[in-house]
Structure formats: structure tokens, C-alpha cells
Structure 1
Amino acid sequence: MRMPPLVPGSLAIVVVMLTALVLFRSPPTSHTDVAVADLDEAGDTRDRGFWNEEDWSIFETKVSWALGQGLDTLSVGAVMAKIGRSFVGTAYVPGTLEVEGPESLVINFRGLDCVTFVENVFAMSRFVRAAGAGTLLGDRKSAEDFYESILSEHRYRNGQVNGYASRLHYFSDWVGDNHRRGLVRDISRELHGIVDTEAVDFMSTHTDAYAQLVDMSNISLIKGTEERLSAADRVYLPEDRINEVVQEIHDGDIIAATSTLAGLDVAHTGLALWIDGTLHLLHAPLVGEAVQISETSLAERINKIEGQDGIIIARPQDQPRREATSAREG
């Protein structure tokens, strides 16, 4: 990808820090969102999320609505497009995953950034499509447990919460890990994308932007991830070729806008959404402060933003329907 122009003086520091704060979910200004390690009745310590009443109400309302609309009969991508639209107007809130204490799953539907929007819409859509979802919704704890198991599959390497570095911080890593496990299919290569040869090292070269990177073991693990990503064939579709393949992009496809900032792979994420024959981006942008649908087409939006130069396209996969039971049974 092309490199950005140099920014002189202290402004360069501001640009770098702002990118870190916005794109990588920097520490929040409050501690409204917390996550805890739950000790169940059998004495088994598990990393799980904390649900407040508003989170549960949002979840229950959206899942009930989706089931009532028969969305469970649609492809997962189609469900994502519809559930994603139901989040329009939800506040943009960065940093919700950065909480004090050991890494654990965060549940928050009240405020979303561009990545947590994609993750939660994907996980909620898979919950809706699971066999017996309507029945499970009547058992709050079991429904919460089942949703957590799905969300963890998307957010963490191999679907397992195992410390800060197990979270898929770089979105090209997110796509690759979810692709490897059959949750999405990266179709960027199929659409004749090109290989991104730029090194990935933003986090390890800006450790002061991440509270968890005061721990040298975390830095070492993050560097290992960066080295692997830098050596991999990360394929993206350049911005000037998006219109050539736009008809191959489906509702609900996950769109990752590639970054021109040195060391950073992806600048923004969202969902593909067709409206009246035009492909738009359904996303949670910093500008606008809420989940919204892009006013312009996806191609126009990418082309006019200097810090973005192409897209990665990941298609959610229709897996065999899971049985909607508590992930903690047995």
C-alpha cells in the first residue's frame, strides 16, 4: 500500500496517537464496561462477560424481533445486513474492550466501534440462526453463555480467551483466523486482489498507546503476530478496482478498509449493504458518532479518504446450524 505523506513536528505524534486510540480500542475514559472471570458452581474459573440490564434488554429485543421476522431462515450474511441496520443510531464508543485486569470477554451493545459493531452483528446473527434460539432466549443465563461462546469465536485466536495477545487486534489477522476456522471466506484473492507487501508493526512501535503493552511478555507476543502477518500474503483490492468487482459483493459481506498509515493493516471496518442498486457501507465511524449507512457508495467513500486505499472482503459462512444450548453445560 502507498505510504502517507510525512507530517511535520508534533502533529505527527497527534496523528499517530489518534490512530492508535481510535483504531485499536484504546483505554476508555470511564469504566462503565467491565468484564470478570466467573467462578461457576463447580468451581471452574472461566473468562466470561458481564451483562448489565441494558445490554440484555437490547440483545433480547433484537433477537426476538429477528426471530419474529423469520430471519433465522436466511443466510447469515443476509441476517447480518438486517440486524446491522437495526443498530443504526447506536453511539460510536471507542475503547470498550480495554478494561482493567486480566483479558476477558466484554459485552456491550450500547456503544460500538467499527470492529465491535461487526463482531456483535455477526455473533448475534449466528445466534438467531441457531436451532432452538427462541427457546433458549427464555433462559437468560443459558442465552448469555451461548452468545459469549459465539462472540469469543470471532474476537479471539482459535476462539479462546488466553490473555491480551489472544485478541485479534489486527483486522487482517481477524479475517485470517476466522477464515481458517471456516467462519468467513476471504474472497479478496478470488476477486483478483493484490498482495500487500508493507510490514505490520504499528502496535509494537507505539507501545505507549496501549496500557497492556507495559508488560514485556505481551509485547513479545504482539511482535510475533506482527512478524507472521508481515510475512503472509495479505491480499486486498485496490481502491481503483472496487467498481470492477462490486457486483460480486453481497449484503452482509465484511469490508475492511486498508490503511495507508505505516505499520497498520486496516483503518476501518463495516458491512456491505445494497440500497437501490448501489453498494453502501454500514458501519460505526468516528465521524458521525453513531452507527450509520454511508451517504456515498462504498467505492466513492474509500476513494475520497486519504488514509484508506483499498478493501479486504470477508464473506460470512453458513455453517451447519448449532444447537442453541448453554456453552457451559456439562
Structure 2
Amino acid sequence: MGEVFLRLLLVALAFVGGTALVAPATSAAPTGTTIDDATSAKLDELLALRGSGKSKGELIELLSSRFLGTPYGANMLIGSATQPEELVIDFRRVDCFTYLDYVEALSRSSDRDQFVANLIETRYAGGRVDFANRKHFFTDWSHTARTAATDITAAVSPSAVTVPKRLNAKADGGQYLPGIPVVDRDITYIPGAAVDANVIGQLRTGDYIGAYSDQAGLDVTHVGIFVATPEGPVFRNASSLAAHNKVVDSPFADYVSSVPGILVLRAQ
């Protein structure tokens, strides 16, 4: 079962998790934010790394590398159609989406206040911490304000395929997330078999990669970060696989060969 699918399923079943939390979302900028000691210390460490003179991709690579080995935690966010949304900030465990949320927000921030504001803007449409405003789908990052990244999938490969999707609508007519409307959206992906050396050569360190889902109602099943290393390109991701269960670097070609295709979002 895909990791994003699992996350959606857990939310739909109203299971909630996560232990480091902030105030319930009743305003655009929650006050009284509390962060556990381990997360607080790591946040300061990561903010100090940001510095100057680094490109966006270099920042994403540097910041994301500091999460390698961080345990995977399923369903880290708190909130549903029936439970008030809370802003979760917890670096002790991450799922594939919260990992990207944190890295993207950190790449834009030089202090704690900026990080909290940027995390809210990255995770929620319109900067309002609310379950209905949460960016539940990977492509929300390129379609929903504030836009965190640009979808460059079609430009990366002439083999890219565009299919119409009804996000959040199950094949049987139900919904993955009660209380969230169905969104009609064209999803462009590159079939796995077409991700060759030419395609990989056009990717940049720091590109956000989604594993295309061929299931109705979903855009991707997993997300991570493309990183070019001296040993070859890797897919940096918070993996729930039993062999990992943590943030790891997986050989990019090996990962792509295991999924129907990929979507590529480039951070702005």
C-alpha cells in the first residue's frame, strides 16, 4: 500500500497521531506554539545552517540531509472533518509529506517565527491552519496558494502523459477524506519505463518527486527529494518500508523502476 494512500486512509478513518503540537487552529497564525525539546534543539541547528550564498537546491539538499535516519511516523498530522486541526511541528518522526513540509519551510526561513509562518503557508492553502485548507495532495503544491513549487513534469520528458483525475474520489463513489471536496485536476506524469538517462539528466538536486498513482482519486502514493550524489542520483525519502522505517537515500533508478511513473515539482 502506498504511503500517501495509507495516510489518506488513516485520516479518513479518523485515526490521529503525533505528540508535538501547537494550538488548535482557530486563526491564520496560531499562538502559543509548543515544541518538544528535541525538535526545538534541531530547529535551531537547522536554522543556523541556512546561511547565505546557497541556491535553493543546495539548501534543500543540506537541510534534508540532516533528517537522514529520522524514524518514520505514520499519520503525523492532527485533524479531520470532525476533529479540530492542530499545527504539528515534530522533527522526532516524519512521514513522507511532513518531511517535505519541514524541509521546504526551513529553506525559506532564517528564524523561528519565519519557520512557523512558512510551515503554515507550505502546508495549508491561504495560510489558514484548518483541515479543509490542508494541502492533502502532492499536486496541491503547484496548484494551490501559496504555490510552493512549479510542476515541470511535462517539460522534462516528451513521454509525459496527462490524465484527468478526480482527486479524493474513490472508484466505488466514496471519498478518501470525508469533508473534503472532490477536485478535478489533470495529472501529468512520466511513465517509469521512460525515466531514462536523459530525463534524469534534466532533474536538479532539490526537485520534489512524486510516485504516480494509477488508483482513482490519488495523484501520488509517495513523495521525496531528488539528490545528485557522487555515487549517483538518489531518492531521499521518509520510507515506511520495513527494511528502512526511517529517512533514507534510495538509488533513484531502483525506486523509479518500482512505481508506475513520477511527477516532478521544482521548488520556487
Aligned: 1:173 with 2:140: yes
Contact 2:28 2:128 in 1 (8 A): no
Q: Is the 8 A contact 2:18 2:77 kept in 1?
A: no
Q: Please give the alpha-carbon distance, in whole angstroms, between the structure 2 residues aligned to 1:46 and 1:184.
A: 22
- Would the alpha carbon gap of residues 195 and 300 (structure 1) be closer, same or farther in structure 2, given more than 3 Å must change? same
- Residue in 2 aligned with 1:164? 131
C-alpha separation in 2, matches of 1:25 and 1:148: 25
Q: Give the Cα–Cα distance (whole angstroms) in 2 for the partners of residues 51 and 310 of structure 1.
A: 37
Give the TM-score normalised by structure 1. Answer: 0.69
Label 1:164 to 1:22 Cα distance change in 2 as closer, same or farther (>3 A).
Answer: closer
* Cα distance in structure 1, aligned partners of 2:102 and 2:216: 29
2:150 aligns with one of 185, 210, 226 = 185
| Deviation of the 1:19 alpha carbon | 6.4
- Decide whether aligned partners of structure 1 residues 266 and 31 sit closer, same or farther in structure 2, where only a CA change above 3 A counts: closer
The answer to whether residue 82 in structure 2 is matched with residue 82 in structure 1 is no
1:8 is aligned to: none
Aligned-residue RMSD, C-alpha: 2.7
Distance across 1 between alignment mates of 2:25 and 2:164: 42
Counterpart residue identity of residue 239, structure 1: G
Report matched runs for 1:199-218 at 5 Å.
199-202=166-169, 205-206=174-175, 213=178
Aligned-pair identity in percent equals 26
Deviation at 1:51?
Answer: 1.4
| Aligned counterparts of 2:16 and 2:260: Cα–Cα separation in 1 | 31
The Cα offsets for residues 283-307 of structure 1, whole Å up to 9 and x where unpaired, read as 001011100000x3x2331222xxx
**CA shift at 1:233, angstroms?**
2.6
The counterpart of 2:195, out of the listed 242, 251, 259, is 242
Tell me how far apart the structure 1 counterparts of residues 228 and 261 of structure 2 sit (CA, whole Å).
19
Letter in 1 for 2:6: L
Query: Whose radius of gyration is greater, 1 or 2?
Result: 1
Query: How far did residue 20 of structure 1 move?
Result: 4.2
Change (3 A) 1:157 1:290: same
Q: Which runs of 5+ in 2 are unaligned?
A: none
Greater helix share, 1 or 2? Answer: 1
CA contact (8 A) 2:153 2:190 kept: yes
* Equivalences for residues 4-23 of structure 1 within 5 A: 20-22=5-7
The answer to whether the 8 Å contact 2:142/2:148 transfers is no
Q: TM-score, normalization: structure 2? A: 0.84
